[in-house]
Chain A
Amino acid sequence: MSVGGAGAVYDRGYRPYDGPRGLRGAATYALYKASIRRALGIRRSWRQKFAPFLLLGIVTVPAIVNVGIGYVTRDRVVDAVEIITYREYVGVSSALLLFVALVAPDVMCPDRRQRVLPLMFARPLTGIDYVVSKVGAIASILFAFSFLPQVVLFVGNMLVSDSAAHYFSGHMDVLWKVPVSVGLLAIYYAVIGVAIASLTDRRIVAGAAVIGLFLITSISSSIIVGDIVNGQGSIGGLINVLGLPLFLRDLVFLGHVNPDSPLAGVDHGGPFAIATYVAILLLGAGVLLRRYRWVER
């Protein structure tokens, strides 16, 4: 320390750290938190915060409208007005595809482009830990953004109903069906988005590839399936990567394939949907693990 005149310059030197220290679990959780912060624009400029929270607002609008109409019509002698069901609301969450196309590349590509990966893998962190952190972060946000509007819908409907207790007891099944459905959707979109983003270090390319994959497969599927006549769809409905998790949603909510869906009337349509879902998840996980198999064999 040197002291002179009006001021002093303190050399605080170096203080060793002797507190608790974690290993892989702590490093994975740290990367998970950092990825969530980045995805939501936390500690970044307002421009980075704008898109995620705008999308959250958009997917919450139907719940607010539904509850608002229920409130306005609460004293009228008419059947309860329900413009959107919990099952249908899971479909609204597929709009979060835009979020995936925007955020997954932002969370993945800079690490490769700015060559941060060598620094990360110089920590107690493996390729698997890295993939789990990134997919987990995107899936968590997707789950939250899909689940929160459903909570708004449920609580709002309960409060504007004649009897909150009666409404609650009458909709107990929703309490597990919604989280399971949006969980399936969140993991699926997160794995696909992150896997595609891992293939390039350019965000714009990754974002376009995510949207392109979903658009091309959904259009292709529509052409193959065509109009559903007499409740007869086609196995080609499974090509639709965007809509695939909605088949699983129907299985969760209805216990069978929805008669109005492109898989209607297809033998073993439900098991086929589950198998395709699992196969795509495994493919995405395989791509990711191969891309981040950092330690050479």
Chain B
Amino acid sequence: MLAGSLLRIDGLTKRYPGVIALDDLSVDLPRGLVGLVGANGAGKTTMFRLLLGISKPTEGRIEVCGIDVAVDPIGVRSRLGYMPEHDCLPLDQTAADVVSTFGELSGLPARAARQRASDILDLVGLDEARFRPIGGFSTGMRQRAKLAQALVGDPELVLLDEPTAGLDPLGREEMLALVGRLGTFGISVIMATHLLDDVQQVCEHVVMIDAGRLVVSGGTDSLLERTGIVTVDVGVRGAELVAGLAKVGLSATTDDGLVEVTVEGNHQMDALRDVIAELGLPLYRLSTRLTSLDEVFLRLAGSEP
């Protein structure tokens, strides 16, 4: 994770006529890879518009990379890259032209923009296709071109809005791998998505919002708490283990060949170990089961008033 504060939001509210898109949201995010999670219409895209300074908050204050968005929106935008969810590239121009033009629009001299466009298209895997019109690109290639235009200006922070939308499983894995690499280049990422698996795979920090309100913000690992369930693989002798555990007062079930045991405290863990040893069962795997972000989101969003 990169050092320093990436984003400070204090009491952010955005109201449209008849709709509250964001409601008194306060959060402080570290640099690195951040997932912004919420259902469709939760306020993710609105937040991106506010971060870019192309929409003004009704109330509250936003500081991006140490700059107050209300005071210097141009300064903020010169440090950001943005990849929208929807198609947004000129279809009749080549990828090289589009990306180098957006490099110049980010403030780079023409020559540097062309050079960087070439490098970035290579990085996202479009080196061979850079002189082809974007209109002939597949969905995956267009997503990569969108990512390239967001990176060409060498931003400190990239805002990615649903970067894996519309991609097949392989394309999704490749896009997530690319996003994961950005952190190693010193580029922070805020990835808005409703796909919690994507966030769990690449993000170090998670912000969950629901109906414009903050649900939770924290490190991905800290949110993936232990469930108190231990999964045991003893091959085909699962039923034998369940029966043995019942004798010592431990409840267990079998699920897809694995035994799931509810364990509370070290003494019950010791009891589990002893039962396996006494029965002479082969122990192939023993692990504590973690929650998924889906479970965390459903539990926390469901408890919101």
For chain B residues 188-202, which have a beta carbon within 8 Å of chain A? none
Check if B116 is an interface residue, CB within 8 A of chain A.
Answer: yes
Contact across chains for B105 and A30 when beta carbons are under 8 A apart: yes
The interface size bin for chain A is 35 or more
Contact check: which of A13, A16, A33, A122 meets B123 at CB < 8 Å?
A13
Report how many residues on chain B are interfacial, defined by Cβ distance under 8 Å.
47
Could you tell me if A17 and B86 are in contact, using CB atoms closer than 8 angstroms?
no
Q: Please, which residues of chain B bring their CB within 8 A of the CB of A294?
A: 54
**Which residue of B81, B107, B122, B185 contacts A21 across the interface (Cβ within 8 Å)?**
B107
A7 within 8 A of B: no
- Contact check: which of A14, A21, A22, A121 meets B54 at CB < 8 Å? A121
Complexed CA–CA distance, A146 and B78 (Å): 37
- The verdict on B136 contacting chain A, using a C-beta distance below 8 Å, is no
In the complex, B109 has a CB within 8 A of chain A: yes
Interface of chain A: mostly helix, strand, loop or mixed: loop
Cα distance, A294 to B123, chains bound together (Å)? 32
Cα-based distance from A148 to B165 in the complex (angstroms): 50
**CB contact under 8 A between A27 and B106, given known A114-B88, A122-B54, A295-B56:** yes
Interface residues of A in 225-268 (CB under 8 A from B): none
Q: Which single residue of chain B is at the shortest CB-CB distance from A15?
A: B119
B107 touches A16 (CB 8 A): no
Q: Is the CB of B107 within 8 A of A14?
A: no
Distance in angstroms between the alpha carbons of A89 and B163 in the assembled complex: 55
* Residue contact A21 to B105, C-beta cutoff 8 Å: no
Question: For the complex, what is the distance from the CA of A122 to the CA of B74, rounded to whole Å?
Answer: 9
Contact A295 B102 (CB under 8 A): no
Can you list 15 residue pairs at the A/B interface with Cβ under 8 Å? Answer: A13-B123, A14-B181, A16-B185, A17-B154, A19-B109, A19-B112, A21-B108, A30-B101, A31-B105, A116-B89, A118-B54, A119-B82, A119-B149, A120-B105, A121-B52
* Besides A118-B88, A294-B54, 13 new A-B residue pairs in contact (Cβ under 8 A), listed by A number: A12-B122, A14-B119, A21-B107, A24-B74, A44-B92, A114-B87, A116-B89, A118-B82, A119-B89, A119-B149, A122-B54, A123-B107, A295-B73
